[in-house]
Amino acid sequence: MSANTDKNNILILFAHPALQKSRVNRRLITFVRDIEGVTFHDLYEAYPDFHIHIKREQDLLVTHDIIVLHHPIFWFSTPAIIKEWFDLVLVHGWAFGREGNALKGKKLLSVISTGGRESLYQKKGFHGHTIDEFLFPIKQTARVCKMDYLPPFVVYGTHTLNPEEINRHGEVYRDIITALRDNEIDLEKARGYPLINLNSEEIIMNKENR
């Protein structure tokens, strides 16, 4: 935890290569980008040519307690810039390895949207694996960097969501980010569910005081 002892600084690393065509994520980010204590960082906007400024990214990571990776799922993975960002920014001796402790203890939250419905992301569903399994490279990267990986925030079935449903996801996203900032998520309870946004009413403490 940095500067403020009872609040966390949150860095949202956002990636959508065609934000002008986005229906879901363009709306979702409006719920979180202006929250106090949140730094919203749009990677495609910052680096349209993919020339990622490694030191700037590392400095941003160091000055935040909770890192959020927010993007749509593309081909069961992240949009390309996030992979490039991982490859360049998370270097040995800094992010991982015996002396690579820059990210140690920071929390990592994946926020993703999928075109596929939830029923497709089951062992017996069309994709044959759960979303947790598809997110394994991120989970393991967090582990190797000694970070604390949280259950992901997932918005399934984007193609059939209506505007009210998208807004409802946005409200839950806002509530979870605010509660994470204020240390008001019951993390033990949250880890008992596959998604952090599945039972948000239950895992957010002091909700009545908000």
Ligand X SMILES: Cc1cc2nc3c(=O)[nH]c(=O)nc-3n(C[C@H](O)[C@H](O)[C@H](O)COP(=O)(O)O)c2cc1C
Residue numbers of the site for ligand X (CB under 6 A)?
A: 16, 22-26, 72-76, 113-116, 158
Q: Which residue is nearest to ligand X (CB)?
A: 115
Q: Which residues contact 173 (CB under 8 A, 6 or more apart)?
A: 28, 31, 32, 111, 153, 197
CB of 80 to ligand X, least distance (A): 10
CA dist., res. 156 & res. 197, Å (int): 11
DSSP SS3 for 178: helix
Rank residues 74 and 193 by Cβ distance to ligand X and give the closer one.
74
Rank residues 76 and 102 by Cβ distance to ligand X and give the closer one.
76
CA dist., res. 74 & res. 179, Å (int): 28
- Listed in order, strand segments (DSSP E) in 16-132 are 38-42, 66-72, 107-113
Rank residues 75 and 123 by Cβ distance to ligand X and give the closer one.
75
Rank residues 22 and 101 by Cβ distance to ligand X and give the closer one.
22
CA dihedral 164, 169, 175, 176 (to 10 degrees): 180
Q: How many Cα neighbours within 13 Å face the side chain of 183?
A: 7
CB of 29 to ligand X, least distance (A): 9
Rank residues 26 and 139 by Cβ distance to ligand X and give the closer one.
26
CB of 18 to ligand X, least distance (A): 7
CB of 143 to ligand X, least distance (A): 23
CB of 175 to ligand X, least distance (A): 20
CA dist., res. 187 & res. 91, Å (int): 29
